[in-house]
A and B are shown apart, each in its own frame.
Chain A
Amino acid sequence: MADHRLKPITPLGHDVPHSVTLGPVTITEVVDTALASLAARMGEGKAVADIADAAGIPLPPPGKAAKAATYATFWLSPDMWMVEAPFATHEDIVAILKPHFGETASITEQTDAWARFDVTGADLPAMFERLCNFDLRAHGPGSATRTVIEHLGCYVVIRAEGHLSVIGPRSSAASVFHALETAARSAF
């Protein structure tokens, strides 16, 4: 194998994750998460639920996210979830998940398709009501949805009170980050 001296960069093109604090809000790139989508094949819903349960992968209901010891997940669509795992131990996440599920589910690596920005601070609803249709005042921790931010389809996952993740298309990471910054400046 050729000796490539390639240097990994973050979605925003930096050496280390970028972070900015605007008033009470901090927006941080998060690059330590591996992602894979997990879709139960037709008629395998029960089998997938049992396997996931044994493997420590929570499968939350529509509009929800869940977290276990190693894996965190959020609901994507009927019979489909996004699985998050620590990048350091699960870089090849499909190879780790596939032996569990075999032919019952279709698993696709998503890690480098997405850029994740964690937003922390008080009064996030004031910022996100400027950004998207997702009503943070009506949804608490453990909620997750896909919505439109800056004309881009993004997932919003509420991790805890005052902490949420925006997961947007990596190729448009700068646009998502710009939208978040602009909304934070506008709100605070």
Chain B
Amino acid sequence: MGLVMPNPGTIFWMLIIFGIVLFVLTKFAWKPILTALKEREDSIATALNSAEEAKKEVAGLKADNEKIIAEARREKEAILKEAKELKDKIVAEAKEKAGEEAQKSIAQARQQIEAEKTAAINDIKKQVAELSVSIAEKVIRKELSNKAEQEKMVDGLIDDIKLN
């Protein structure tokens, strides 16, 4: 058989066989395969898309979270600051009040001391006076035990009056 001359029998069978194979494969194999491939590709594409969306969503959530956290932090700082101010105020007030109180009690104490002192001095004065009177009485009694002395005394007293 010639190598470069196509053989009619070969062409005949080849036409039939290839025609049938083409028809059968097209109808029953390639169509389902290609549809399945396409479906899978589509599903993969959608999956990727949704993954991308989810990623975006997550990123959004993250941003939100960060915002919330930042806000919370700011709030916390504000609260802390306020609390500190309040504390300072309270402390200052307390200090002031305590100082005042102390001043007050000091003043009171001083007053009391003054009063006590006055009372004590008065007491001492009284006692001294009593003491001196009793001493003077005793002295006078002793002195005036004799007549001469009495006279002398009266004289002296008269002298004093005169002098006055």
Partners in one complex: no
